[in-house]
Amino acid sequence: AQTVTQSQPEMSVQEAETVTLSCTYDTSENNYYLFWYKQPPSRQMILVIRQEAYKQQNATENRFSVNFQKAAKSFSLKISDSQLGDTAMYFCAFMRDTNAGKSTFGDGTTLTVKP
């Protein structure tokens, strides 16, 4: 079974600065997908960024980028130029290539952006 670990229950960052959220996972699979989801105080989960394990290039979506280290089974999220609207809980998730789309989620990191 896959496990996903987010070792930072809470983090904070000053507005306009950069913050990195960590995620590690354990799997024996070679093909899989990794995701970061954002859950703001409204509780609506939103997909932030995705990474396909067979791609070496790190995914980027505007201010959000990942550092994917397949050998180390690490998948960190970097948020640049942090904004107050980035305040949310962030979940790392793992999905096997062929598993009916079922995901395994980490316990989340609560990020607070301070003005």
Structure tokens at 65: 């980028």
Going by C-alpha positions, the residue among 75, 88, 110, 77 that lies closest to residue 2 is: 75
Q: Rounded to the nearest whole angstrom, what is the least distance from the CB of residue 47 to other proteins in the complex? A: 4
Pull the structure tokens for residue 43. Answer: 């509780």
Handedness of CA 33, 96, 3, 27 (dihedral sign): negative
Q: Work out how close the CB of 14 gets to other proteins at its nearest, in angstroms, rounded to a whole number.
A: 25
Name every residue whose Cβ is closer than 8 Å to that of residue 55 and which is 6 or more positions away in sequence. none
Nearer to other proteins, 81 or 107 (CB): 107
Nearest to other proteins of 9, 69 (CB atom): 9
Nearest to 61, CA basis, from 46, 42, 41, 39? 46
The least CB distance from residue 31 to other proteins, in Å, is 9
In angstroms, what is the minimal distance from the CB of 1 to other proteins?
A: 9
**Angle at the Cα of 72 from the Cα atoms of 78 and 34, rounded to 5 degrees:** 55
Residue number with CB closer to other proteins (74 or 104): 104
Tell me which residues touch other proteins (CB under 8 A). Answer: 4, 9, 32-33, 35, 37, 42-47, 50, 52, 91, 93, 95-97, 99-108
> Is the CB of 28 or the CB of 102 nearer to other proteins?
102
